[in-house]
């Protein structure tokens, strides 16, 4: 796909997400919990049910999984949960400036085992930088996987990142246990929790990149 067309498509996806996110954030004052790659929705539905004091958003790339998730939360009669078809990188760009995530779960994220595919893993240093600008101070990131190499990779990135502080298991126990679909298939898993450090400038304070003047100007 030509670069200009790809850029136009991304811009239109972000605009569409922005339009869908604005009313969600306008309609709540609750702290927001995000699940990235919410899959079949079991975890976040149970979490929202147990935490009526939170507003929960589950995002995923697979529409069918989101539809199943929505059916679950509707059956449970939940009003503090929403599901969105979104890539997390675009989601972060589309969040309203005044939105600050309190908590983020990334559970059994695709491990992309081959080295040449590692760039597709959700947890990257650039991702943690973008996430930090969209999180409240002391927001927590809860990561769990059954893939030992991805666990080490993600934990090392979080440990070395200036915007995040890795918590010890004793300081911060796993906040909510519920077996996800992919957890059920796994023999074992490992988890870490990181807290966003204070002092990360909110996204509204970051200068937008300068855009070249269009040819019609
Ligand atoms: C292995 S599944 C795990 C699903 C669920 N968390 C569980 O434990 O059962 C990973 C999910 O992440 C979603 N996903 C992968 N990359 C994503 C991205 N960049 N943004 C949003 N979701 C993503 C996939 O579509 C998939 O449903």
Per-residue pLDDT of the chain (217 residues; tens, 9 = 90+): 888 999 999 999 999 999 999 999 988 899 999 999 999 999 999 999 999 999 999 999 999 999 999 999 999 999 999 999 999 999 999 999 889 999 999 999 999 999 999 999 999 999 999 999 999 999 999 999 999 999 999 999 999 999 999 999 899 999 999 999 999 999 999 999 999 998 887 666 555 444 443 333 2
Of 76, 205, 186, residue with least CA distance to 132: 205
Phi, psi angle pair for 129, to nearest 5°: -65, -50
pTM of the model: 0.92
Whole-number Å distance, alpha carbon 106 to ligand 1 midpoint, is 8
Nearest CA to ligand 1 atom 24: 37
Q: So what's the pLDDT on residue 138?
A: 95
Taking residue 164's Cβ as centre, other Cβ atoms within 10 Å add up to 23
Give catalytic residue positions: 110
SS3 106: strand
Residue nearest to atom 27 of ligand 1 (CA): 39
Q: Ligand 1 centroid to 36 CA: how many Å?
A: 7
Closest CA to 138 of 81, 192, 198: 198
Integer Cα distance of 128 and 161 in angstroms: 8
Atom of ligand 1 at shortest distance to CA of 144? 8
Query: Any residues with CB less than 8 A from the CB of 75 and at least 6 apart, and which?
Result: none
**Which domains are delineated in the chain?**
30-201 (3.40.50.150)
68 with 45: CB under 8 angstroms? no
Task: Give φ, ψ of 186 to 5 degrees.
Answer: -95, 150
Closest ligand 1 atom, residue 65 Cα: 27
pLDDT at res. 206? 52
Say what the pLDDT of residue 1 is: 82
* Long-range contacts of residues 150-153, Cβ cutoff 8 Å, at least 24 apart: 150/109, 150/111, 150/112, 150/113, 150/121, 150/123, 151/190, 151/192, 153/118, 153/121, 153/123
Q: Output the CA 183–ligand 1 centroid distance in Å.
A: 12
Give the span between the Cα atoms of 192 and 109, in whole angstroms: 13
Instruction: Output the pLDDT for position 205.
Output: 56
């Amino acid at each position: 796909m030509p670069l200009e067309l790809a850029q136009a498509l991304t811009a239109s996806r972000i605009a569409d997400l922005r339009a869908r996110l604005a009313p969600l954030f306008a309609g709540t004052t609750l702290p927001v919990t995000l699940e990235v790659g919410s899959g079949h929705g079991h975890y976040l539905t149970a979490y929202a049910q147990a935490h009526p004091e939170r507003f929960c958003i589950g995002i995923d790339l697979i529409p069918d999984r989101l539809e199943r998730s929505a059916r679950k939360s509707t059956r449970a009669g939940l009003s503090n949960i929403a599901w969105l078809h979104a890539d997390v990188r675009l989601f972060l760009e589309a969040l309203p400036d005044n939105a600050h995530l309190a908590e983020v779960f990334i559970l059994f994220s695709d491990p992309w085992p081959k080295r040449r595919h590692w760039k597709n893993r959700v947890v990257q240093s650039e991702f943690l930088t973008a996430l930090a600008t969209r999180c409240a101070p002391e927001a927590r990131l809860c990561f769990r996987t059954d893939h030992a190499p991805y666990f080490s990779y993600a934990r090392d990135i979080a440990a070395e990142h200036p915007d995040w502080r890795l918590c010890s298991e004793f300081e911060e126990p796993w906040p909510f246990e519920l077996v996800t679909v992919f957890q059920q298939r796994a023999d074992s898993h490992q988890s870490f929790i990181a807290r966003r450090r204070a002092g990360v400038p909110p996204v509204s304070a970051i200068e937008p990149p300068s855009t070249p003047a269009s040819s019609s100007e």
